[in-house]
Amino acid sequence: MQSGKIGGPMVFVIFGGHGDLTWRKLVPALYSLFLDDWLPDRFEILGIGRKQLSDESYRERLRDGVDKFSPGKADPNKWTEFSSHINFRTADLEDKQAFAGIAEELGTYDEKWGTKATRIYYLALPPQMIKPVAEGLAAAKLNLDREYARIVVEKPFGHDLNSARELNVLLSNYFQESQIFRIDHYLGKETVQNIIAFRFGNTLFEPIWNRRYIDHVQITVAEKDGVGHRSGYYEHAGALRDMVQNHLLQILCLIAMEAPVSVNSDEIRQKKVDVLRAIRTILPEQVHQSAVRGQYGPGWIEGERVRGYRAEEGVAPDSPTETFAAVKFYVDNWRWQDVPFYLRTGKRMPSTVSEVAIQFRPVPHQTFPASALLDNRPNRLLIAIQPEEGILLRFEVKHPGQHMALAPVMMQFYYREAFKVRSPEAYETLLLDIMRGDSTLFMRADQTEAAWAVIEPILDMWQSVGPTDFPNYEAGTWGPEQADVLIAQDGRSWIMPTLLQCQEDLAKCRLAREQS
Ligand code: BG6
C-alpha cells in the first residue's frame, strides 16, 4: 500500500475490545496500517471490555490475533512500538458512570498532545449494546463534537425494517449522519470497489450494460465454513439477514446503479439507494417462486465429514434457521426492466468463493451454420471477488482448423498478476476511511432501511410458514435442489464459479462422498 499518513492525533475507543472482531479483524488491520505508515504519529487504541485485564495481557492477546490473521507474523520491534499505544480499561457499559471515566481519560490525551484528537468510537458489540453505548456516550457529552467524534456500528443493523428504523432514530438523536459509520465490510473489499472503477472508468462496457444486451446477472457468495461458534447470533439471523440484506444487495447495487456524477460519498450512496428503491416488491404469494431457503445436513468438506447445522453447538435440534438463501430480484427501471438478478449464498458449500456473473444475450441473428455452433456459448463477464480477485471475459473465436467452428475462450485479468502488490484487507480500507471522515463506503441510514424493505416480504413469509424439509442440502454441495428449480423455471442454470481452486474443492467433496 502506498503511504500518506493521517495528520492529526487519533484515539480509537473499541467497545468490545476483548471480543472476536477486535482480535481477528480490527487490530490486525490497524497494525497493517501502522506498518504502512498510515497512522498518525499520535494515536492511541483504547480497548474497553468487562474483563479485568492488564494492559500487558491485553497486548499479548492482540498480538496473537495479529500473528494469526495478518499477512505476516508481528515483527518484534514494530509490535513493541505499535503496542505501546494500546491500553485496556474495564467497564460496565450499562453503567453511565463508566462513560464519565472514559471521557476523563480521553481528556488526558488531548492535554498530553496539546490539541483535540479525533475520537473514533467503534462498537464491536452485539446489537443490543448499541443503545446503552450511544446513550452513555451522549451522557458524557462524547458525541457533541461533529468534526472530531465518530461512531462506528457493525452489522447486523437491526433485524428487520422496524428495528433498523428505531436504531437510526436512536443514533440520530445523539449523532449527526456525517458522524455515523455503518459498516458493511464487503464494501471495503478491493474487488467490490473495483466494480465502480471498471464500470465508470471505461467506455467499453457501459453502452452494453443494460437490458438490451444483458440476459441476466448472478451473484454467488459461497462459504465452506459452517456456523462455527456464532450460533448464538446466527440462530436469530439466518442467511437472508446475515448476507443477502447487506453484502449481496450491496454488490447488486454496484452492478445496477446509474453512473454517479462524481465519487462524492453522497452521490454514490444516493445512486445505490435508487437501485434498492427500484427493486420490484415480492408479493407474499410470489415468495415461493422468487426465493428458496436451505439448511445444511451432514456431509463432506475437503474430504472431511462435517456435521449438519442442527448438530452444531448452540443450535436447536429442530432449528428452522436457513443457512442458504437464493432469491430472484428485478430492478424496475429503464436500464434493467425484466433482467433477473439471481442471488445465492450459503454456508457449508463446496468452496469459499464470491463471484458476479453477467451473462449477455445471444447474438440477434446467427450467421453461422449449426455445424459451426456445437460449442457456442453466450458472452459472459465474471467479476471474481474472492478468494481470487479479477475479471474474466468469455467470448467466441474461431477454432483453429479448415472448418468454420466457434469455440469459447476466456480473457483473464487477475489482480495478483497485474499489480504484484498486496490488496489491502477490507477492514484496513474502512478504518482508514473512518479516520479520514470519508463515508463513501458506508451505509447511509435510508440505505439500510431500503435494504430491509427489499427482503422483508421474504422474511415475513418464511417466518409465518416454517420450513418442512430442513435439512435440505448436504454439506459440500451447492444448496438445495429447489435453488436449481428457481433458476431452471426461467430456462437458466447457476453458473459454476470459474476458479480452479473451487473446482478442486468440489472434486474433493465428490470423491469423499463416493468413497464413504
Ligand atoms: C459476515 C457474516 O458479515 O460475513 C458471516 O456475518 C460471513 O456469516 C462473513 O461468514 C463473510 O465475510 P467474508 O469477508 O469472509 O466473505
What are the two backbone dihedrals, phi and then psi, of residue 353, each rounded to the nearest 5 degrees?
-155, 135
Tracing cell 439448511 back to the chain, one arrives at 295
Q: Is the pLDDT of residue 498 over 80?
A: no
Q: Are 323 and 271 in contact (CB under 8 A)?
A: no
Reported as a single tens digit per residue, the pLDDT across 30-62 is: 999 999 999 999 999 999 999 999 999 999 999
Contacts of 448 (CB under 8 A, 6+ apart): 157, 158, 164, 168, 182
Ligand 1 centroid to Cα of residue 347, in Å, is 10
CA–CA separation, 158 and 455 (whole Å): 13
Ligand 1 centroid to Cα of residue 446, in Å, is 23
To the nearest 10°, report the CA torsion of 457, 458, 460, 464: 140
Of 439, 5, 402, the residue nearest 182 (C-alpha)? 439
Output the pLDDT for position 253. Answer: 97
Angle at 321 between CA 317 and CA 324, to 5 degrees: 120
Which cell is 454 given?
Answer: 427489499
Q: Tell me, using a 6 A CB cutoff, whether residue 449 lines ligand 1.
A: no
Candidate of 153, 184, 193, 242 to mutate for ligand 1, largest count of ligand atoms within 8 Å of Cβ? 242
Rounded average pLDDT over 6-27: 94
Ligand 1 centroid to Cα of residue 406, in Å, is 40
Closest approach atom of ligand 1 to CA 247: 3
Distances (CA, A) of 322 to 227, 233, 248, 292, 342: 11, 13, 16, 9, 18
In the chain, the percentage of residues whose pLDDT exceeds 90 is 84
Output the pLDDT for position 506. Answer: 64
Reported as a single tens digit per residue, the pLDDT across 387-435 is: 888 999 999 999 999 999 999 999 999 988 899 888 899 999 999 999 9
Candidate of 157, 189, 243, 245 to mutate for ligand 1, largest count of ligand atoms within 8 Å of Cβ? 243
- Its pTM stands at 0.93
Output the pLDDT for position 7. Answer: 82
Q: Tell me, using a 6 A CB cutoff, whether residue 223 lines ligand 1.
A: yes
Closest approach atom of ligand 1 to CA 189: 14
Q: What would the CATH number be for the domain defined by 10-154? A: 3.40.50.720
Rounded average pLDDT over 265-280: 94
Which regions of the chain carry the CATH code 3.40.50.720?
Answer: 10-154
CATH superfamily of 187-509: Dihydrodipicolinate Reductase; domain 2 (3.30.360.10)
Ligand 1 centroid to Cα of residue 9, in Å, is 31
Q: Is the pLDDT of residue 3 over 70?
A: no
Lowest mean pLDDT among 259-268, 295-304, 357-366: 259-268
Reported as a single tens digit per residue, the pLDDT across 307-325 is: 999 999 999 999 999 999 9
Q: Is the pLDDT of residue 93 over 80?
A: yes
Output the pLDDT for position 46. Answer: 97
- 288-305 burial, b if ≥16 CB within 10 A, otherwise e? eebbbbbbbbbbbbeeee
Distances (CA, A) of 54 to 48, 77, 143, 170, 506: 12, 21, 28, 34, 46
Q: What is the mean pLDDT of the chain?
A: 93
Which regions of the chain carry the CATH code 3.30.360.10?
Answer: 187-509
DSSP string, 393-428: EEEEEEPSSSS--EEEEEEEEEHHHHH-SPPPPHHH
The one-letter code for the residue type at 217 is V
Q: Are 57 and 24 in contact (CB under 8 A)?
A: no
Neighbouring C-alpha atoms within 13 Å toward the C-beta of 319: 26
Output the pLDDT for position 511. Answer: 72
Reported as a single tens digit per residue, the pLDDT across 177-191 is: 999 999 999 999 998
**Length in residues, the chain:** 516
Q: Is the pLDDT of residue 1 over 50?
A: no
Ligand 1 centroid to Cα of residue 425, in Å, is 13
Q: Are 471 and 194 in contact (CB under 8 A)?
A: no
Q: Tell me, using a 6 A CB cutoff, whether residue 242 lines ligand 1.
A: yes
Nearest CA residue ID for atom 5, ligand 1: 242
- What residues are paired with 48 via a beta bridge? 15, 89
Closest approach atom of ligand 1 to CA 227: 8
Candidate of 185, 235, 249 to mutate for ligand 1, largest count of ligand atoms within 8 Å of Cβ? 185
Q: Is the pLDDT of residue 4 over 60?
A: yes
- What residues are paired with 474 via a beta bridge? 297
Residues marked as catalytic = 247
